Structure 1
Amino acid sequence: MITGETLLYGLVAHPAHHSLSPLIHNMGFDQQAINARYVVFDSQSQPAAVSQAIDTLGIAGINLSMPYKQTMRPFVDTLSPSAQLSGAINTIKNDNGRLIGINTDGDGFWRALQQASPMQNRAQTVILGAGGAALAVIEAAASYGVQTLTVFKRANQTYPQVAKRLAKIATTRHITINLYPFDDEVALQQTLATTDCLINATNLGMQATPGFPIAPRLIAQIPSACLCADLIYAPRETAFLKTARLTNHPTLNGLGMLVEQAALSFEFWTGKTLVTAPIYAALTEENKQ
């Protein structure tokens, strides 16, 4: 029952109505008998307005997705070391009016990969895209056995800024990181020829007309043992993952990352553990309907 004492948590993003986060967190609150509810705020407001709303309305905690993971950073009071390094946040805790920003995306992704494919080699990993979620995955990679990361992104106005951030991550985390523009086809083909893990961190799979982050013919040429992962979970199988499956590559969608990053956010907010087994079961059942 919702009462005057019920704490409010939520997701701020656009688009957001497809999100499964309310199901996950509300199950968690029920598990732990916490008087709280989690809702979706599909917002296109400016980051400063979002920060003010959290404070004014006394919202206890917020998750962030596109387009807020990087733009909200200047509007929190404290950043965790990993959030500072990656330049992106996905979780905010309202600590008596003081907003604390962290990022659980990176650990969430690698934890999900470990659970789904514990024996998967990921020493040589390629990431397509360098947005907020990708930067979190990159920042956490060294802790999960990645030795060399090769990142491909569009050669746009953010390219120099991303190059500097990746250099700082590489120095701090003692990992080799290479950055190339998407249009460097020679570098792309050479890198894919020896990759252990290929991660799509672009949002192309969410578009009304599904797109590919790289040419489909290149997917067929990567090593057969290479895991192809997508950070997207809606749809469950993007065009990228479908092509990888049809060329007999192991695949992983973003559902596990969603659950694992949520578990880390839940613990940060409440100090309680989110039991994920029933969450996975509920999401699997929903997918059947």
Structure 2
Amino acid sequence: MKNMKHYGLLGFPLKHTMSPPIHQRLFELEGVSDFDYTLKEYSPEELEGKISDVLALDGFNITIPHKVEIIKYIDELADSAKRYDSVNCVVKKDGKYIGYNTDCDGFLRSLEAAGARLDGKVLQCGCGGVGRMIAIEAVRHGAELTVSVPEGFEDTVGPVKEYARANGFSDDIKVVHPNEISGKFDLLINASPVGMFPKVENCPVSEEVIKGCGFVFDVIYNPERTKLMQTAESYGIKTCGGMAMLVWQAVVAHEIWSGAKYNDSDIARLISDMHKLMAEKE
């Protein structure tokens, strides 16, 4: 078809990715039918030889392990990509390839849709990868941030403090070990893999800590409701899981690609349906 648009996901491996059904639904909600969305499953060793195949797309998503390596193949970086030196979304516009980081947007939009705020007292568990991004967003939004890391991982908070100092934000970030957490928090964020399938009985903090939190956000999306979330809900505390973040970052990709607009109820339904689909796959 003459007006066919081509999109895809670059990563390796891609066996368990949820991206195709998420983007399929988003295209349907947008009213677009003349598109395809393909998986570009290339290893780091293959990428250079396959990059022309990837750049032939009108837009594409990037996941592990190519979020940094892809930068040398594109023309421009949006502010979000510059901030994290990481790209997970590219659009081809006027002959140029522009890279974005929609992970941060997915996190922020998830919180917003759930009615949670990032500018109060925030306790974050873990500070590697996605955790670094979330901690920087917390700093940018004026949070009073405490980061809990296992002993020996204190240095993972260093880049966040450096970012804060370099950009005029407060670098007064408290770093603690899990057994040292005390006090009450407006928001608890689990940015660690603790509680992820198959070790679903694990929890990054004690029940006592959870009881003192106003809202719980867990980046994990498998299982749908982690032990952390279940415990919080047993005390009447609202929660949000990682599938929301995954879907919302895809929403932002479509906004970048085509200016698409969606309503919150459709996205909430999509998040729920993706949980059901994931359960069917297991």
- Per the TM alignment, residue 205 of structure 1 is displaced from its structure 2 partner at its CA by 3.5
- Per the TM alignment, residue 176 of structure 1 is displaced from its structure 2 partner at its CA by 3.9
Query: Alignment RMSD, CA only?
Result: 3.3
2:52 equivalent in structure 1: 55
Distance 2:196 2:57 in 1: 29
Residues 127-146 of structure 1 mapped to structure 2, 5 A cutoff: 127-142=124-139, 145-146=141-142
* Equivalent in 178, 181, 196 of residue 189 of structure 1: 181
Distance 2:76 2:118 in 1: 35
Flag the 1:165–1:138 CA change in 2: closer, same or farther, 3 A. closer
1:150 equivalent in structure 2: 146
2:230 equivalent in structure 1: 242
Distance 1:197 1:253 in 2: 13
Q: TM-score, normalised by structure 2?
A: 0.78
Matched AA of 2:43: S
2:169 equivalent in structure 1: 174
Q: Indicate conservation of the 8 Å contact 2:118/2:138, yes or no.
A: no
Matched AA of 2:36: R
Residue segments in structure 2 that go unaligned for 5+ positions in a row: 278-282
1:104 equivalent in structure 2: 102
Matched AA of 2:189: I
Identity %: 25
Q: Secondary structure at the match of 1:199?
A: strand
- Per the TM alignment, residue 204 of structure 1 is displaced from its structure 2 partner at its CA by 3.5
Q: Indicate conservation of the 8 Å contact 1:93/1:99, yes or no.
A: yes
* Equivalent in 7, 31, 44 of residue 9 of structure 1: 7
2:280 equivalent in structure 1: none
Q: TM-score, normalised by structure 1?
A: 0.77
- Per the TM alignment, residue 199 of structure 1 is displaced from its structure 2 partner at its CA by 0.8
Distance 2:201 2:64 in 1: 18
Flag the 1:236–1:70 CA change in 2: closer, same or farther, 3 A. farther
* Equivalent in 203, 213, 222 of residue 193 of structure 2: 203
Distance 1:44 1:152 in 2: 35
Distance 2:25 2:240 in 1: 24
Distance 1:155 1:13 in 2: 32
Q: Secondary structure at the match of 2:91?
A: strand
Q: Indicate conservation of the 8 Å contact 1:78/1:99, yes or no.
A: yes
Q: Indicate conservation of the 8 Å contact 2:154/2:175, yes or no.
A: no
* Equivalent in 148, 159, 163 of residue 158 of structure 2: 163
Residue 21, structure 1, aligned to residue 19, structure 2:
yes
Q: Indicate conservation of the 8 Å contact 2:131/2:191, yes or no.
A: yes
Matched AA of 1:36: F
Matched AA of 1:84: K
Q: Indicate conservation of the 8 Å contact 2:9/2:60, yes or no.
A: yes
Q: Secondary structure at the match of 1:236?
A: coil
Distance 1:159 1:49 in 2: 35
Distance 2:264 2:50 in 1: 30
Flag the 1:282–1:168 CA change in 2: closer, same or farther, 3 A. closer
Q: Secondary structure at the match of 1:24?
A: helix
Q: How many residues align?
A: 275
- Per the TM alignment, residue 229 of structure 1 is displaced from its structure 2 partner at its CA by 0.9
Residue 263, structure 1, aligned to residue 251, structure 2:
yes
Q: Indicate conservation of the 8 Å contact 1:121/1:197, yes or no.
A: yes
Matched AA of 1:25: H
Residue segments in structure 1 that go unaligned for 5+ positions in a row: none
